[in-house]
Structure 1
Amino acid sequence: MASALPETRPRTASAGVRLSGLSWAHFLNDGAANYLPGILPALLIQMNLSVALAGTIMAALLVGQGLQPFFGLLADRIGGRVMVFAGLLGSSLGGALISVVDGPVFLIGVLVLIGISNSLFHPQALAAVRRLSAARQGTAMSYFLVGGEIGRGVWPLLASWVVVSWGLGALWILALPAIITVPWLLRWAPSLPARAVGQAPIEWRRHAGPLSLLVGFCALRALMIFCVITFVPVIWAQAGGSLTAGASFITVLMVVGIVGNLAGGRLSDHYGTRPILVGAMVASCLLMLAFLQLSGVWLWLVLALLGIALFATLPLTIVVAQDMLPENRSFGSGLALGLANALGAVGVMALGPVAQVWGASAPLWVAAGGGAVAVVLALVLPNHRPQ
C-alpha cells in the first residue's frame, strides 16, 4: 500500500528546491498570520481598548492553532496536500481583512479565521518536510521552520510601516505575495499518502504520558514567546516609543532566532535532543530575567539571544513528536506546535488582567517562571538520538 512505501530521498536538487519552496510558503503563511503584534498598539488606540484586552486579542489569533491536532488526524487520513493550499490562502486573505475591521467583535472573528487557516497549513506541511528528508531530519525541519520565523519577525515590522505610511486600510497589500505563490505549491509540496484504513489505531495509553510532557514543555515555551511579542511592543508604546520601533523588538526576536533554529536542528543530529532542550531553556529563563532588568540598546541584544535560545528547541520538539507517532506524523506535529501554541495563547489571555493591574511587564515575570518549569520537563522528555 502507499502508506507502506519507504521514505526515500528524491534527487538532491529536486528535494532542495521543494524544501526551499515550502520554506517560502511557510514565510508567507506565518507572516500573514502573525503580524498583529506589530500593529496591536495602533488597534488598541483606534478602537479605544484597554491593555487588559491585548492578551484576549492575541489569544483570538492564536487559540485556533489548538485545532492543529484535529487537522493533523484529518491530514493523515486523507493524504494529499490540499490543506497546505487552503491554509496559506486562508491566512493571507484573513490578514487582508484586518484592513477593514471596524470594531473588536469583527476583529476577533477575523483573527479566529486566521488561526484556523494557520492550523490547516502546518500539520501537512511539516509531514511533507519529513517525507522530503530521509536523513538529517533535524536539519531539514530547521530549514523549513526558518521560513516561518523570518515571516513572524519581518511581517510585524512591515505591517507597522504600512500602517504608519498609509493607514490600516492598506494592509491588504501584504496578501498579494501569497496569492501569487499558491499555484506554485503544486511543484513544491509532495502529495502525502493516505493512512491505511486498516492500520492500527494510536495507542493512547502508551503515548499519553510522553505526549503530555512534550505538549506541556511546548506550551510553556509558547507562553514565553507570546508574552514577549504581545506585551513588549505595548510597554514600548506606553513609554512613548514609536510603533515601528516597538515592532522591531519582534523582528529581532524572530529573525535572529533563525540562528538558534538552524543550530538546534544541526546539533540534535549529532548529540540528540535532550541536552539541547535543557541547555536552551535554562538560557531562555536567564535571558528573560536579564531583559526585565536592562534598558537601552541592551534590550535588543538580549532579545536576540533569547530568540536564539527559544527557537533552538522548536525543530527538536517536532521531531520528538513525530517519533512518538510515526504513523501519524501530521497529528504529532499538530500536538507539538498547534495544541501547545493554543495553550500558550490561553495563558497570554489570562495574563491580560495581570498586565492591567501590575503593569505590562508583569506577564514576562510569569513567563520566566514557566520557563523554569519547562527545564524540568525537558529533563524527562524522550530523547531523539541521531541515526
Structure 2
Amino acid sequence: MPDRAITDATGRFQTERILAIASVHFIHDIYTSFLAPILPLLIKNLGLSLTQAGSLTVFMQLPSLFNPFLGTLADRKNLKRYFLIATPALTATFMCLIGMVPSFGLLCATLLAVGISVAALHVSAPVITAQLSGPCIGRGMSLFMVGGELSRTAGPLVAVWAVSSLGLAGMWQLMFVGWAASAVLWWRLGQTRSKTSARAPASLTGMFKEMKIIIAGVFGILVARSFMASAITTYLPTFLFGEGHSLWFAGISLTVYEAAGAAGVLVSGTLSDTMGRRKVLLAATLFSPAMMLAMLYVQGPLLFVALFLMGFSTIATGPVLMAVMMENAGANRAAANGIYMAISFAIRASVILVIGSASDVLGMRSAFLMCSLVAFAGIPFISLLPKADRT
C-alpha cells in the first residue's frame, strides 16, 4: 500500500503541528520515566528480588529490538499517524496501572505492553515530524528530540509528586493527561491532507540493500558515541563519588550534562540544515571526546564547563543522525527509523556492559579514558554518509 505523507502543498515547515508532536513526546516520555522512581515501592509491595526488579526495565525495552519490523508494518499499511495518535493514551494507561497489579508476572506483562506502545510511537513520530518539516528535517528532529530530553528531568519529579500525593494505587488518575495528549494529536493531525508517494515501500531486506552504506556509517558513529554517552549517563555519579566528590555534587554534574544535551539537541538539527549533516557530525565527534578527556583532568567550575560542553556536543548528534536516516529512506522512513532505534538500543546495552567490565578490571578512571579515545573512532564513519542531502 503506498505511503501517504502528511504534508501541504507548499512543503513548508509546519511549526504548530511539529510543536504539538514535540509536546506530546514530552508528555509521553514522562510516563515512561515513572518506573525508576517508584521501583522501591514496587519491590516492597510485591516482595521482588533485586534481580526481578532489574528485569522490569528489560521487559519495557525489549520491544525496541523489533522496531524495524514495526516500522516496516507502519510503512506498508500506512499506520504511522494511527500509531502516533494512540500511543500517548496507551502508554499513560499502562504506566499508571503498574501500582495496582497484584503479581510480578502481571507487572512484566504490563511493562511489555508499555514497551510495544513506546516502540510504536518512536518509529512513527519522527517520520511524521520529518514529513511536516519540508526542507528543514534537521530542525524538525531537533524540536522532536528536545521533548524527550526534557522529559528525563521532569518525569521523576512528577512520579515522586504523584506517589506522595495520590499513593501508588492512585496513580491511575494521571492517565487522563495522556488521553488528552492523544486527543490533541487527533485534532491537530486527524484532518491533515495526504499526498501519495510515487514509490511504494520496499521490503526490510530491500531497504537494507539500498541503505547499507549509510546504515554502516550511522552504526559506526553510534558505537563510538555510545562509549561516551553510556559512560556518563550510567556511571558518572559513581565515578565522581569514587573520586572523592559528594553524592550531591555527582548528581548536579549529571544534571548539567543532561541539560546541556537538551540545548545541543535543540540547536544541532537546525544547524545541520544550513551547514550540512557531515560538517556538524564531524565537529561534534571531534569536540565531545576532547571534552571528556578534559573532564578527567579538571576540577571545580571547570569540571562543570567540560561536562556542559560534552553534553551539548555528544547528545547533539542524535537529531542529525535521525535526519540522515529520514531523508535517505524514501518511502521506508518508519522502517529506517526503526532500524536506527533498534541499533541504538542494542549498542547502548552492550556498551554499558563493556564499560562496567573495563571498570572492574582497569578502574573507572582508565575506563573513562578508554571511552574518550574510542569515541574518536567515529570520525572515519562520517565519510560513509551522503555528501549532499536527498529529498
**What TM-score do the two structures reach when normalised by structure 2?**
0.78
Contact 1:38 1:247 in 2 (8 A): no
Contact 1:38 1:246 in 2 (8 A): no
Q: Using a 3 Å threshold, how does the CA distance of structure 1 residues 246 and 178 change in structure 2: closer, same or farther? A: farther
CA–CA distance in structure 2, aligned partners of residues 33 and 274 of structure 1? 32
Q: Using a 3 Å threshold, how does the CA distance of structure 1 residues 3 and 91 change in structure 2: closer, same or farther? A: closer
**What TM-score do the two structures reach when normalised by structure 1?**
0.78
Whichever residue aligns with residue 376 of structure 2, its letter is A
Q: Using a 3 Å threshold, how does the CA distance of structure 1 residues 102 and 73 change in structure 2: closer, same or farther? A: same
Of 344, 365, 369, 1:340 maps to 344
Aligned-residue RMSD, C-alpha: 4.2
1:231 maps to 2:259: no
What CA deviation, in whole Å up to 9, does each residue of 1:244-297 have, x standing for no partner? x76655543333323222321122111211011011022221222333444555
The offset of 1:336, in angstroms, is 2.2
Q: Secondary structure at the match of 2:331?
A: coil
| Partner residue, 1:149 | 149
What CA deviation, in whole Å up to 9, does each residue of 1:221-251 have, x standing for no partner? 3453343222234556787625xx7665554
| Partner residue, 1:255 | 259
- Map 1:329-368 to 2 at 5 A: 329-354=333-358, 364-368=368-372
CA–CA distance in structure 1, aligned partners of residues 297 and 56 of structure 2? 27
Q: Using a 3 Å threshold, how does the CA distance of structure 1 residues 2 and 24 change in structure 2: closer, same or farther? A: same
1:326 maps to 2:330: yes
CA–CA distance in structure 1, aligned partners of residues 101 and 364 of structure 2? 25
1:33 maps to 2:32: yes
CA–CA distance in structure 2, aligned partners of residues 363 and 177 of structure 1? 42
Q: Using a 3 Å threshold, how does the CA distance of structure 1 residues 132 and 147 change in structure 2: closer, same or farther? A: same
Contact 1:220 1:344 in 2 (8 A): no
Whichever residue aligns with residue 29 of structure 1, its letter is H
The offset of 1:18, in angstroms, is 1.3
Structure 2 residue ranges without an equivalent (≥5): none
Contact 2:56 2:108 in 1 (8 A): yes
1:73 maps to 2:72: yes
Contact 2:139 2:273 in 1 (8 A): yes
CA–CA distance in structure 1, aligned partners of residues 227 and 87 of structure 2? 23
What CA deviation, in whole Å up to 9, does each residue of 1:308-338 have, x standing for no partner? 1023211211111123211111111222234
| Partner residue, 2:282 | 278
Q: Secondary structure at the match of 2:379?
A: helix
1:305 maps to 2:309: yes
Of 238, 241, 249, 2:247 maps to 241
Q: Using a 3 Å threshold, how does the CA distance of structure 1 residues 194 and 236 change in structure 2: closer, same or farther? A: farther
CA–CA distance in structure 1, aligned partners of residues 294 and 90 of structure 2? 38
1:210 maps to 2:214: yes
CA–CA distance in structure 1, aligned partners of residues 326 and 18 of structure 2? 18
Q: Secondary structure at the match of 1:316?
A: helix
Count residues with an aligned counterpart: 381
Structure 1 residue ranges without an equivalent (≥5): none
CA–CA distance in structure 2, aligned partners of residues 364 and 91 of structure 1? 35
Q: Secondary structure at the match of 1:210?
A: helix
CA–CA distance in structure 1, aligned partners of residues 10 and 142 of structure 2? 19
Q: Using a 3 Å threshold, how does the CA distance of structure 1 residues 92 and 270 change in structure 2: closer, same or farther? A: same
The offset of 1:26, in angstroms, is 0.9
Give % identity: 25
| Partner residue, 1:184 | 184
| Range moving further from structure 2, 129-138 or 26-35 | 26-35
Of 382, 387, 390, 1:383 maps to 387
Contact 1:79 1:193 in 2 (8 A): no
- Map 1:5-44 to 2 at 5 A: 7-8=7-8, 15-34=14-33
CA–CA distance in structure 2, aligned partners of residues 227 and 162 of structure 1? 31
The offset of 1:133, in angstroms, is 1.9
Whichever residue aligns with residue 150 of structure 1, its letter is L
| Partner residue, 2:82 | 82
| Range moving further from structure 2, 140-149 or 41-50 | 41-50
CA–CA distance in structure 2, aligned partners of residues 269 and 342 of structure 1? 28
Q: Secondary structure at the match of 1:8?
A: coil
Larger Rg: 2
The offset of 1:27, in angstroms, is 0.7
Q: Using a 3 Å threshold, how does the CA distance of structure 1 residues 153 and 384 change in structure 2: closer, same or farther? A: farther
| Range moving further from structure 2, 72-81 or 219-228 | 219-228
